[in-house]
């Protein structure tokens, strides 16, 4: 994913950075948020655990939407994660269905968590475009509808 996002932003992100950020950090963060939101909702339901649940749902929806669907529609193809994107949306729907009583119990917390999770994924491309060249070498940015540049 780092090569994909980097190509769109016009920077060469090393593969190891992608492994660390997109696999280790992102996976760990989502597991932690999920554990707090899901386990905590049963054990000690409160505004914080529901906010974590909302954050997880927001992350899944925004990841599918901003990292895959929107970029695919704009013409950035092939998109390496597009095939699994329906699973992100299915997970969000399942979480909403299973935890509907808690989400309804603390709707403001759920909405705030959802918005934070959504903004986290929405911000990836703007932040890479703005600050990526300060961290990594630049390259010609991938233009929608054209073949992906070779890094």
The CA distance from 36 to 64, in Å, is: 22
Per-residue pLDDT of the chain (151 residues; tens, 9 = 90+): 668 999 999 999 998 998 898 889 989 999 999 899 888 877 777 999 999 999 999 999 999 999 999 999 999 999 888 999 999 999 999 999 999 999 999 999 999 999 999 999 999 999 999 999 999 999 999 999 999 887 6
Contact 22, 145 (CB under 8 A): no
- Helix ranges, the chain (H): 2-9, 15-18, 26-43, 47-62, 70-74, 85-98, 100-105, 107-122, 124-135
Whole-prediction pTM: 0.91
Among residues 115, 111, 64, 112, the alpha carbon closest in space to that of 92 is found at: 64
């Amino acid at each position: 994913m780092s090569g994909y996002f980097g190509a769109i932003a016009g920077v060469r992100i090393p593969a190891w950075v992608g492994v660390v950020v997109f696999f280790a950090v992102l996976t760990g963060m989502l597991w932690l948020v999920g554990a707090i939101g899901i386990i905590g909702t049963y054990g000690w339901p409160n505004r914080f655990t529901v906010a974590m649940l909302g954050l997880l749902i927001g992350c899944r929806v925004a990841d599918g939407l901003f990292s895959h669907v929107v970029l695919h529609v704009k013409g950035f193809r092939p998109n390496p994660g597009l095939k699994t994107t329906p699973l992100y949306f299915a997970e969000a729907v399942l979480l909403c269905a299973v935890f509907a009583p808690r989400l309804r119990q603390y709707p403001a917390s759920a909405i705030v968590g959802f918005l934070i999770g959504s903004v986290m994924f929405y911000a990836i491309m703007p932040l890479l475009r703005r600050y990526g060249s300060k961290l990594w070498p630049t390259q010609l940015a991938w233009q929608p509808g054209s073949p992906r540049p070779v890094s």
